[in-house]
Structure 1
Amino acid sequence: MQNQEVAALSGLFDRYRRLYGQPLAEQDPGQPSPAELPPAHQGRVGWRPFLRAEPGSFDNLARALAMPVHPSLTALFGHYYAGNLPLCYKGLFVTLLQPWNSADFERLQQNQIGHQLMQRKLGLPATWFIATCRDEHRLVTLDNASGAVLLERLGQGAIGTLAPDLAGFLRRAEPVSS
């Protein structure tokens, strides 16, 4: 399944580039990325997905939380350094998150642990955030048990299922101009 998900993510990057050209990200000179393309324009920098030589691992999350981590999480966040992508999925506008560099990947892992600890405290099922919504009280998550992509209300759990799996979500998502 992981190969399907990585291929679907790569296809999403390609669709964005075909529709809108080179994607842009906010430039932070203190946080360079192997995905960056010179030169920067008015505080923004072009980028292209940078395939990591060795995929990032979430084994440390599994150990820290004493639970298995759904392999789709590694498929989405472990293979590329890239900028976040604005998408529309069935009329829902979201921003798909991506790690910009190794420090950002570590921050993402720490934030995932925090999210999971809050889920436990509230007695909610294990999910991992993968995208933000325009409504800051909602987010798109990956169900740790099934791998389904969910729409979740912060602190209240799943509102509904967006897709039965990550590959389907990524294939059906439509890039939008940032």
Structure 2
Amino acid sequence: MDAEITLRVDGQERTVTVDTRTTLLDALRERLGVTAPKKGCDHGQCGSCTVLLDGRRHLTCLALAVAHDGAEVVTAAGLGGDEGLHPVQQAFLDHDGYQCGYCTPGQVCSAVGVLDEVRAGHASHVTRDLDAPPGLDDDEVRERMSGNLCRCGAYAGIVAAVRAAGEAADRTAGGAA
């Protein structure tokens, strides 16, 4: 059975007809030509397909497109703007947070989500003091980014990039997360 859905992808409203069994990843890549989210494992284990879905990081290979009719989807390609790269994208460049680049769009979207979660005060499994605002030390970054795998092993650069973007956001926001 087919269904017509509308998605706002990287700021542009898009309408597409999909089979009701179509994943959001396949709708984006194969029906709408949006190739920033990558198909890695297709089982929700690698994070290559991560996007920001209605403001939160989400694995698109595990989501049915019809369940997200009307949703706002932001991919790594839609993060920057007329003024240039998003601060997380710039941090990945500055800290060599990539090698082959296949996982990078998912890593970047996940990092943006991580920073939003920290700013909102959400604790992680390794947060030491649940009464204090969460910090962003290496352990926190590793735990929060653990759903995004890098076959090349660029983890040191990824952790450095996420921390640098978080610190830059702190300076800009006057110390909030």
| Shared fold, TM over 0.5 | no
Where is the helix percentage greater, Structure 1 or Structure 2? Answer: 2
- Determine which structure has the larger strand proportion and give its number: 1
TM-score (norm 1): 0.29
